Structure 1
Amino acid sequence: MASLAATSVFLPGRTRSVSLHGQGMAGASQIRLASFTHQRRSTFFPGQASAPRFESPAKPETVEKVCAIVKKQLALASEVVVTGESEFTKLGADSLDTVEIVMGLEEEFGINVEEDNAQRITTVQEAADMIEKLVSKGSA
């Protein structure tokens, strides 16, 4: 009896790889690898030109605090440079790490980040911008 298994790896905005593994199939003894680019789709309001962003950039001291928290949460070596443009995934963070980073930010800044906002944060700058927005709402 022939069997076929597929393995798929998905990273948003990157190439998706699918490996097909066959066993007991006549003439199909090779493993085939197919790759294709996944196009991210987002839902926007009519007339909206791009994804919603936080209004104003965060203060440099907020960005520095976020960098320090990210570096600590991910246990990064001292020589690793973390900036506002640093992406969590490129620093080695998985989804659990990202949740822990958000929890650390909530604790440090005394804020509460809604789940949908937390899922949109991909860079240190985005996290700092969101914190500034939430802190200003809390003090208003």
Structure 2
Amino acid sequence: MASSLAGSALSFARPVKATNNNSISFTGVRKGNAFLRLQPVPMRLAVCYAAKKETVEKVCDIVKKQLAVPEGTDVCGASKFSDLGADSLDTVEIVMGLEEEFNISVEESSAQSIATVEDAAALIDKLCGGED
């Protein structure tokens, strides 16, 4: 029989400790005979906005060409580079192709946050001053 923890008092089997300003480590939580192990979750904040349709379409074309995506494969804003078969080197090459096509320079920290076509298009619009 499943037990619900909602509305129940929880007791900590071990102390809760702050490991730094961004995370809290929970070693374990106990409710009756149930024992939960909570894993620390990194805190991440991202500011997002939708990229222009034209930018997304252009990025899709570049990604298709760069990855030699088979004809008929759907590539859209939500497409993840990894789902299209890209490894880290392919992603670097995609970013280089985008830099050349849009005449922009993408910093390494920004490039590492690009996982989807939409991510790339939004970054391009931002770097080109296209955000509204």
**Deviation >6 Å, runs of 4+:** none
Q: Quote how far apart the aligned CAs of 1:98 are.
A: 0.1
Are positions 1:119 and 2:108 aligned together? Answer: no
Structure with greater strand share of residues: 1
Q: Which residue of 1 aligns with 2:47?
A: 53
Q: Which residue of 2 aligns with 1:71?
A: 64
Q: Of 98, 103, 106, which residue of structure 2 is paired with 1:110?
A: 103
| Cα distance in 1, alignment partners of residues 129 and 40 from structure 2 | 31
| Structure 2 unmatched ranges of 5 or more | 1-38
| Cα distance in 1, alignment partners of residues 110 and 41 from structure 2 | 17
| Cα distance in 1, alignment partners of residues 40 and 90 from structure 2 | 22
Taking structure 2 as the reference length, what is the TM-score of the superposition? 0.65
The one-letter amino acid paired with 1:78 is E
| Structure 1 unmatched ranges of 5 or more | 1-38, 45-50
The one-letter amino acid paired with 1:63 is V
Q: Which residue of 2 aligns with 1:13?
A: none
CA 1:43–1:65 in structure 2 vs 1: closer, same or farther (change >3 Å)? same
| Cα distance in 2, alignment partners of residues 71 and 122 from structure 1 | 15
Q: Which residue of 2 aligns with 1:97?
A: 90
The one-letter amino acid paired with 1:52 is A
Identical residues among aligned pairs (%): 59
Q: Quote how far apart the aligned CAs of 1:57 are.
A: 1.1
Q: Quote how far apart the aligned CAs of 1:42 are.
A: 3.5
Give me the CA root mean square deviation: 1.8
In the comparison of the two structures, how many residue pairs are matched? 92
